[in-house]
Amino acid sequence: MITAQSVKELREKTGAGMMDCKKALTETNGDMEKAIEVLREKGLAAAAKKADRVAAEGIVKTYISEDQKVAGIVELNCETDFVAANEEFVAFAGKLAEMASTSAAKDIESFVAEKFNETQTVQEALTALIAKLGENMTVRRFEKFVVENGVVQSYIHGGGRIGVVVELACDTASPVLAEVAKDVCMQVAAANPSFLSKNDVDNEALDKEKEIYRVQALNEGKPENIVEKMVMGRIQKYYKEVCLLEQAWVKDGDKSITKYLQEKSKEVGSPITINKFVRFERGEGIEKKEENFAEEVARQIGAK
């Protein structure tokens, strides 16, 4: 049975009209993901909205070594923005980012088991902070960067809402590298690429996009013999949206990031390449419980 709640959820995820959402769910027997694809194929959803990236509180912190060769980034979550702004909470996140830069851990379970200080592991220190500040907290994710020839750089946006770390490789030491790394950090923060290059695009995701574009073209009444050309044209546009090296540079839309790197490489005298990047956005993908403030107040009054 198609419920009003499922229709509302689909509408929030796609921005499509209520009746279109209901029809899509009916057509797919209530399958939310398939309904999203149906709406996209019909051109009724400009894109699958990031409704799964519901905001959760906390902070993203980064650490860069003085020589710009080592970096760490961490996301620490909590329940409210009040705790997210707490000095002890922020300092704890900062310490974790520095730890991440030298950690041997490969996953979050190993990371929180590492020593935080002489007497506590990260998990034990976190538990103590939870007891002190009165909110649940989690160390959600971290990443480590180490480069020999090149630099690492970071950028924090919105007081810790978004954190980015970029690792550049170059055989020639130059102050230009820090400038380029900062520009690329800003690009990643603003344009939110999913991949570094075309070669990194997941085949399953690519096949899914191709099929959606193919159905869109057919629904537009295009003949079969030109549908494939249209699909490939739209895939090229897709690359420019999701691949960092293909994206238009936010400071100069006439240049791609690849072109920008080529120009700076000539200035330095050696090729500058992006080894990797990470972009953490606080709370992305975390379902946040919706509270009715009036009901909460009524409960508290009733409890007295």
CATH number of residue 42's parent domain: 1.10.8.10
Query: Is the domain of 226 the same as that of 187?
Result: no
Model pLDDT, residue 41: 76
Residue 192 exposed, middle or buried by CB count within 10 Å (0-12, 13-18, 19+): middle
Gyration radius from the chain CA atoms: 23
Contacts of 220 (CB under 8 A, 6+ apart): 43
- pTM: predicted TM-score of the whole model, two decimal places: 0.74
Contact 72, 61 (CB under 8 A): no
Chain position carrying tokens 């860069």: 64
**How far out from the chain centre does Cα 45 lie?**
21
Contacts of 40 (CB under 8 A, 6+ apart): 14, 47, 48, 212, 216
Query: Is the domain of 40 the same as that of 166?
Result: no
Indicate the helix (H) or strand (E) that contains 1.
Answer: none
Query: Is the domain of 260 the same as that of 273?
Result: yes
Number of domains in the chain: 3
Residue 292 placed within a domain: no
Within a 13 Å sphere around the CA of 2, how many CA atoms are in the beta-carbon half? 20
Residues 145, 68: Cα–Cα separation, whole Å: 10
Residue 291 placed within a domain: no
In degrees, rounded to 5, the angle at the alpha carbon of residue 262 between the alpha carbons of residues 260 and 264 is 70
Residue 234 placed within a domain: yes
Structure tokens at 7: 């229709």
Contacts of 171 (CB under 8 A, 6+ apart): 149, 270, 271
Residue 296 placed within a domain: no
Query: Is the domain of 179 the same as that of 45?
Result: no
Indicate the helix (H) or strand (E) that contains 63.
Answer: strand 57-64
Name the β-bridge partners of 280: 163
Residue 118 placed within a domain: yes
Query: Is the domain of 254 the same as that of 272?
Result: yes
Query: Is the domain of 260 the same as that of 117?
Result: yes
Query: Is the domain of 207 the same as that of 92?
Result: no
Query: Is the domain of 189 the same as that of 210?
Result: no
Domain range holding 158? 57-200+243-281
Query: Is the domain of 267 the same as that of 163?
Result: yes
Model pLDDT, residue 216: 86
Contacts of 250 (CB under 8 A, 6+ apart): 186, 187, 190, 191
Model pLDDT, residue 227: 83
Query: Is the domain of 120 the same as that of 177?
Result: yes
CATH number of residue 213's parent domain: 1.10.286
Model pLDDT, residue 197: 95
Alpha-helical (H) ranges within 79-121 are 81-84, 87-100, 108-112
Model pLDDT, residue 209: 85
Residues 196, 256: Cα–Cα separation, whole Å: 13
Indicate the helix (H) or strand (E) that contains 156.
Answer: strand 150-157
Residue 105 placed within a domain: yes
Model pLDDT, residue 55: 36
Contact 243, 201 (CB under 8 A): yes
Q: Phi, psi at residue 157, to the nearest 5°? A: -120, 145
* Regions of the chain where pLDDT drops below 70: 15, 43-55, 287-304
Query: Is the domain of 73 the same as that of 118?
Result: yes
Model pLDDT, residue 44: 60
The number of helix segments (H) and strand segments (E) in the chain equals: 12, 8
Residue 289 placed within a domain: no
Query: Is the domain of 67 the same as that of 143?
Result: yes
CATH number of residue 255's parent domain: 3.30.479.20
